[in-house]
């Protein structure tokens, strides 16, 4: 807004014809950055966007385009209010500058990057939720790439050493400066295939204040020019000794050895005024003595320019070479240790690989001999197994309880589940998928079928997070106390009267808990503790088909104990029916055992049979 007012009425020093343009200024939102500084930041981060586009494209193996959309100044409160909630915020330590900066990636882009890094090859639905621990570990790798490129794009202004502090999901928890503080907000549009979103980089005024004088186009371009000028030899200030010499007559060694003080030597060139300039031991210019003025008796005119230039080039050559050799020696010392270390690691790795190949070839020959001569298989020593068997990712998970694994991974993204299951044993993966909701089962299977390559560093990050969560869960499990099992152990060594009184009281207070306790107090396998007469009474009350089904999942000793309790005729019929039963489902077996255990408990409570305890056996 602008307004023309009568300046004379205000000050009274100008004519009524003179007007002044007045612009509003909000002191609550001051413009602390000049246009030149904004323009310089735009140039710097345009370089950043181009470099990070290339890097992320290689990381994701997808065409990724990132470009600057706007560079503007606003208050920190405006930035926080405009951010998507929730989204990914990375707090960056801008060492050696004070305060911190914030990278913000919108959910569309962050989830697209995460799933792609986890090997996804599918079209992803839109997610807007918190990141899990595994997803945070994956997105951290993206931010570390951002910081490496950020340091390079700022190198013309300052030797920035940015570090990732932590990651937040909600804007309200990202408070690096007071809300009214001015910031520069650099907004970049990111497009990954058909998915697009914004990446914001917020830099507070307090962070940029120490380098304001460098945020100008003049300083920036001069820094670029100086940085890019590597070919100019810095020897213009070097000093060298020089001599002006006249031609003398030839002297034999005998006369030279007889030279004494005050002896005269002829200089034929002196009378002709001819002399030459020598520098660095080389003749670099022909001179002619200027005569006619006594003040110029020691002044000479250079006669051969070209020769002098050539000689100077020859003279400077060794100096430059010497300087280059010193620089080369310095660089060699700088990189010598890392290169030698890398060379050593490569050599050791190749040696190990060579040994492994030899062991594999040897093992193949042994297998061929075993097949041909029908020889028994040789037990491979554990150290040999470790030497040529590559560690499979997520191998440690196979020893984990299936329920614990499901509880830990069921809330993860389907792509994370697919990645983990693709490396596990087929039996474990099948059990896990069967526990998933029907909506997710087909999605996970599709992702396993279409899974793409995953970089080793991402696999290591996912492994480390899962391993830590499993370790924490194992500690919690070890510290857990009580439970139904503890009740069974306690009641198992009490008297029958005490047990019955407790069960009756619980049936009134908590019938559901009472049923759980009763169901575990006697299990089907405990029939091995019963005598034959008691088993015969039980067999009269249970269904024969339930009995055969229940015996499918017990040891042979228990089966024989039950068969021996029958008559000879019934035993033969039962064994034939048992063999004809074939394969059955585990859940059907458990249901049949539960029905038989309920009948045994009812007979025990009615006093028809007596279920003996372990301590009652002699």
pLDDT-wise least confident of 100-114, 178-192, 216-230, 271-285: 216-230
104 band by pLDDT with thresholds 50, 70 and 90? very high
Q: What is the DSSP string of 375-401?
A: PPPPPPPHHHHHHHSPPPTTGGGGGS-
Among residues 331, 329, 155, which one has the least CA distance to residue 228? 155
Looking at the predicted structure, is the pLDDT value of residue 144 above 60?
yes
Judgement on whether residues 200 and 63 belong to the same structural domain of the protein: yes
CB 392 within 8 A of CB 423: yes
Maximum average pLDDT range among 230-234, 394-398, 404-408, 577-581? 577-581
CB 462 within 8 A of CB 134: yes
3-state secondary structure of 276: strand
Looking at the predicted structure, is the pLDDT value of residue 15 above 70?
no
What's the N-to-C CA distance of the chain in angstroms? 104
- Please count the CA atoms within 13 angstroms of the CA of 287 that sit on its side-chain side: 21
| CA-based radius of gyration for the chain | 44
* Residue 193: both structure tokens together: 């295939």
Asked if residue 354 is part of any domain, the answer here is yes
Total tally of structural domains belonging to the chain: 5
Q: What is the DSSP string of 470-490?
A: HHHHHHHHHH---SHHHHHHH
Phi and psi at residue 264, to the nearest 5° = -90, 145
Average pLDDT of the chain to the nearest whole number: 77
Q: Which CATH number belongs to the domain containing residue 538 in this structure?
A: 1.10.220.30
Asked if residue 191 is part of any domain, the answer here is yes
Looking at the predicted structure, is the pLDDT value of residue 522 above 80?
no
Q: Which CATH number belongs to the domain containing residue 182 in this structure?
A: 3.40.1550.10
Judgement on whether residues 48 and 191 belong to the same structural domain of the protein: yes
Predicted TM-score of the model (pTM) = 0.53
Asked if residue 515 is part of any domain, the answer here is no
100-105 and 3-6: which strand pairing? unpaired
H-helix or E-strand spanning residue 183: strand 182-192
3-state secondary structure of 581: helix
163-168 and 300-302: which strand pairing? unpaired
Question: What is the pLDDT, as a whole number, of residue 14?
Answer: 46
CB 207 within 8 A of CB 94: yes
CB 141 within 8 A of CB 457: yes
Q: CB-based burial of residue 119 (10 Å sphere; 0-12 exposed, 13-18 middle, 19+ buried)?
A: buried
Looking at the predicted structure, is the pLDDT value of residue 17 above 60?
no
Angle at CA of residue 50, ends 49 and 52, nearest 5°: 65
48 band by pLDDT with thresholds 50, 70 and 90? very high
Judgement on whether residues 42 and 153 belong to the same structural domain of the protein: yes
Asked if residue 507 is part of any domain, the answer here is no
From 424, 444, 479, the end of a domain falls on: 479
Judgement on whether residues 40 and 109 belong to the same structural domain of the protein: yes
Asked if residue 297 is part of any domain, the answer here is yes
CA distance 464 to 402: 19
Question: What is the pLDDT, as a whole number, of residue 334?
Answer: 54
Question: What is the pLDDT, as a whole number, of residue 551?
Answer: 86
Beta partners for 242?
279
Alpha-helical segments (H) within 436-510: 438-450, 456-479, 484-491, 496-509
Range of the domain at 531: 522-616
391-403: average pLDDT:
72
CA distance 551 to 562: 9
- 606-618 burial code (b ≥16 CB/10 A, e <16): eeebebebeeeee
Maximum average pLDDT range among 99-108, 227-236, 264-273? 99-108
Question: Which residue's entry shows tokens 């560093």?
Answer: 457
H-helix or E-strand spanning residue 22: strand 19-22
pLDDT-wise least confident of 193-207, 282-296, 384-398, 432-446: 384-398
CB 287 within 8 A of CB 308: no
Looking at the predicted structure, is the pLDDT value of residue 602 above 90?
no
Looking at the predicted structure, is the pLDDT value of residue 160 above 60?
yes
The phi-psi region of residue 170 (left if phi > 0; otherwise alpha if psi is between -120 and 50; otherwise beta) is beta
3-state secondary structure of 26: coil
Judgement on whether residues 288 and 204 belong to the same structural domain of the protein: no
Long-range residue pairs from 571-578, CB within 8 A, at least 24 positions apart, any chain: 574/544, 574/547, 574/548, 577/544, 577/548, 578/548, 578/551
pLDDT in tens, 458-497: 888 888 888 888 777 654 454 455 677 677 667 766 665 6
Looking at the predicted structure, is the pLDDT value of residue 387 above 50?
no
Question: What is the pLDDT, as a whole number, of residue 368?
Answer: 60
Looking at the predicted structure, is the pLDDT value of residue 244 above 70?
yes
- C-alpha torsion angle, residues 234, 237, 240, 244 (rounded to 10): 120
Asked if residue 253 is part of any domain, the answer here is no
211-217: average pLDDT:
83
3-state secondary structure of 531: coil
pLDDT in tens, 416-451: 888 888 888 887 888 888 888 888 888 888 888 888
CA distance 153 to 159: 10
Judgement on whether residues 74 and 208 belong to the same structural domain of the protein: yes
Q: CB-based burial of residue 47 (10 Å sphere; 0-12 exposed, 13-18 middle, 19+ buried)?
A: middle
pLDDT-wise least confident of 300-314, 401-415, 512-526, 589-603: 300-314
Looking at the predicted structure, is the pLDDT value of residue 50 above 70?
yes
From 479, 502, 535, the end of a domain falls on: 479
From 366, 390, 414, the end of a domain falls on: 390
Judgement on whether residues 165 and 280 belong to the same structural domain of the protein: no
CA distance 128 to 107: 6
163 band by pLDDT with thresholds 50, 70 and 90? very high
3-state secondary structure of 613: coil
CA distance 290 to 126: 90
Question: What is the pLDDT, as a whole number, of residue 306?
Answer: 46
Question: What is the pLDDT, as a whole number, of residue 297?
Answer: 61
121-136: average pLDDT:
79
The phi-psi region of residue 292 (left if phi > 0; otherwise alpha if psi is between -120 and 50; otherwise beta) is left
Asked if residue 290 is part of any domain, the answer here is yes
Judgement on whether residues 380 and 404 belong to the same structural domain of the protein: no
542-570: average pLDDT:
86
Judgement on whether residues 386 and 401 belong to the same structural domain of the protein: no
Judgement on whether residues 542 and 420 belong to the same structural domain of the protein: no
User: What percentage of the chain's residues is helix, strand, coil (to nearest 5)?
Assistant: 60, 15, 30
Asked if residue 236 is part of any domain, the answer here is no
389-407: average pLDDT:
71
Question: What is the pLDDT, as a whole number, of residue 226?
Answer: 56
Q: Which residue has the higher pLDDT, 28 or 560?
A: 560
Looking at the predicted structure, is the pLDDT value of residue 230 above 50?
no
Looking at the predicted structure, is the pLDDT value of residue 54 above 60?
yes
Maximum average pLDDT range among 14-18, 154-158, 163-167, 421-425? 163-167
Judgement on whether residues 406 and 283 belong to the same structural domain of the protein: no
Handedness of CA 173, 176, 182, 184 (dihedral sign): negative
CA distance 261 to 539: 141
Maximum average pLDDT range among 7-21, 490-504, 574-588? 574-588
Among residues 26, 44, 42, which one has the least CA distance to residue 34? 42
pLDDT in tens, 328-377: 565 555 555 566 667 777 777 777 777 777 777 767 666 665 555 455 45
Question: What is the pLDDT, as a whole number, of residue 308?
Answer: 47
Judgement on whether residues 172 and 59 belong to the same structural domain of the protein: yes
CB 545 within 8 A of CB 616: no
Among residues 43, 42, 49, 88, which one has the least CA distance to residue 66? 49
Cis preceding linkage at 86, omega within 30: yes
CB 463 within 8 A of CB 394: yes
* Residue 470: both structure tokens together: 């499993």
Question: What is the pLDDT, as a whole number, of residue 496?
Answer: 59
299-319: average pLDDT:
58
Looking at the predicted structure, is the pLDDT value of residue 264 above 90?
no
């Amino acid at each position: 807004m602008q307004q023309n007012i009568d300046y004379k009425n205000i000050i009274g020093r100008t004519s009524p014809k003179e007007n002044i343009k007045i612009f509003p200024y909000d002191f609550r939102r001051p413009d602390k950055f000049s246009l030149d500084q904004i323009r310089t930041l735009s140039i710097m981060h345009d370089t950043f966007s181009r470099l990070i586009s290339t890097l992320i494209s290689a990381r994701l193996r997808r065409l990724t385009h990132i470009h600057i959309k706007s560079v503007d100044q606003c208050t920190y409160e405006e930035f926080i209010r405009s951010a998507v909630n929730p989204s990914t915020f990375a707090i960056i330590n801008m060492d050696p500058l004070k305060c911190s900066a914030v990278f913000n990636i919108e959910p569309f882009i962050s989830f697209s990057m995460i799933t792609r890094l986890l090997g996804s090859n599918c079209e992803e639905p839109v997610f807007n939720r918190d990141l899990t621990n595994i997803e945070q570990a994956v997105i951290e790798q993206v931010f570390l790439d951002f910081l490496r490129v950020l340091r390079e794009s700022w190198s013309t202004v300052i030797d920035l050493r940015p570090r990732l502090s932590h990651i937040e999901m909600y804007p309200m928890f990202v408070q690096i400066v007071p809300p009214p503080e001015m910031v520069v907000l650099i907004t970049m549009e990111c497009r990954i295939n058909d998915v697009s979103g914004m990446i914001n980089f917020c830099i507070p005024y307090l962070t940029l204040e120490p380098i304001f004088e460098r945020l100008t186009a003049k300083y920036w371009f001069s820094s670029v020019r100086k940085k890019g000028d590597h070919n100019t030899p810095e020897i213009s200030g070097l000093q060298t000794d020089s001599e002006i010499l006249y031609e003398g007559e030839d002297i034999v060694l005998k006369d030279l050895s007889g030279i004494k003080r005050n002896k005269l030597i002829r200089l034929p060139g002196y009378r002709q005024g001819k002399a030459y300039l020598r520098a660095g031991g080389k003749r670099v210019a022909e001179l002619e003595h200027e005569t006619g003025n006594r003040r110029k008796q020691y002044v000479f005119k250079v006669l051969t320019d070209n020769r002098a230039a050539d000689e100077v080039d020859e003279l400077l050559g060794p100096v430059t070479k010497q300087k280059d050799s010193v620089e080369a020696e310095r660089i060699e010392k700088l990189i010598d240790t890392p290169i030698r270390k890398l060379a050593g690691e490569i050599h050791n790795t190749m040696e190990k690989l060579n040994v492994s190949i030899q062991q594999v070839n040897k093992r193949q020959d042994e297998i061929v001999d075993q097949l041909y001569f029908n020889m028994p298989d040789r037990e491979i020593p554990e150290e040999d197994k470790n030497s040529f068997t590559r560690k499979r990712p997520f191998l440690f998970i196979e020893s984990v309880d299936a329920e614990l694994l499901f509880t830990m991974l069921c809330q993860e993204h389907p792509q994370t589940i697919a990645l983990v299951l693709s490396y596990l044993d087929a039996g474990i993966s099948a059990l896990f998928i069967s526990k998933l909701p029907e909506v997710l089962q087909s999605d996970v299977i599709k992702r396993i079928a279409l899974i793409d390559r995953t970089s080793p560093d991402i696999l290591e990050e996912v492994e480390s997070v899962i391993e830590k969560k499993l370790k924490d869960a194992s500690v919690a499990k070890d510290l857990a106390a009580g439970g139904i099992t503890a009740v069974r152990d306690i009641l198992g060594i009490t008297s029958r009267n005490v047990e019955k009184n407790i069960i009756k009281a619980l049936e009134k207070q908590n019938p559901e808990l009472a049923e759980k306790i009763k169901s575990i107090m006697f299990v089907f396998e405990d029939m091995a503790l019963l005598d034959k007469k008691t088993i015969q009474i039980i067999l009269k009350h249970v269904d024969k088909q339930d009995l055969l089904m229940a015996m499918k999942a017990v040891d042979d000793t228990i089966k024989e104990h039950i068969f021996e309790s029958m008559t000879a005729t019934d035993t033969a019929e039962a064994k034939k029916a048992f063999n004809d039963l074939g394969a059955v489902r585990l859940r059907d077996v458990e249901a049949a055992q539960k029905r038989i255990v309920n009948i045994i408990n009812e007979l025990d409570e009615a006093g028809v049979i007596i279920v003996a305890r372990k301590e009652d056996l002699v």
